């Protein structure tokens, strides 16, 4: 797992210091899209060749949607709670007040 952090950090440093020619840098959006596609293709291949997972996909799908909804509702409620404790104002107003 350490290698992943190294890759991320190397990217941030190289991006920050402009170590890459602009022409290469402009390709990073495409690079990440290609990276995600390759990753998911490989993960799909791993899942597709595992018969146990394929068998469990139906029931798993219902669980996944319920868990995702719970995470969304939980996070929205948490932000509403935070707004009660630490009132947020639109950013412009905050800046105006501090000046």
Partner 1 sequence: MIVLILLSLVIGILAGYAGLLPAGVQANFDFLINCALCLLLWGIGLEIGGNRQLLRQVGAMGFRIILLPLVVAGGSIAGTLLVGSLLGMPPGDSAALGAGFGWYSLSGVLLAKLHSVELGALAFLTNVSREALSIILIPVVARYAGRYAAVAPGGATTMDVTLPLIVKFVGPDMALVAFFHGLVLSALVPVLVPLLV
Instruction: Closer to partner 1 by CB, 17 or 23: give it.
Output: 17
Contact call for residue 99 and partner 1 (CB under 8 A): no
Distance from chain centroid for Cα 73: 18
Site string (7-46) toward partner 1, x via CB under 8 A: xxxxxxxxxxxx-x----x--xx-xxx-xxxxxxxxxxxx
Binding-site size, partner 1 (CB under 8 A)? 74
Contact call for residue 58 and partner 1 (CB under 8 A): no
Give the nearest distance from C-beta 23 to partner 1 in angstroms.
Answer: 13
Contact call for residue 80 and partner 1 (CB under 8 A): yes
């Amino acid at each position: 797992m350490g290698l992943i952090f190294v890759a991320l950090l190397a990217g941030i440093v190289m991006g920050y210091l402009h170590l890459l020619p602009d022409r290469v840098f402009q390709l990073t959006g495409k690079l990440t899209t290609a990276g995600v596609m390759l990753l998911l293709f490989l993960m799909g291949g791993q899942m597709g060749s595992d018969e146990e997972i394929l068998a469990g996909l139906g029931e798993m799908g219902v669980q996944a949607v319920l868990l995702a909804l719970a995470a969304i509702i939980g996070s929205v409620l948490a932000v509403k709670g935070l707004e009660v404790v630490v009132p947020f104002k639109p950013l412009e107003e905050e800046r105006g007040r501090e000046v």
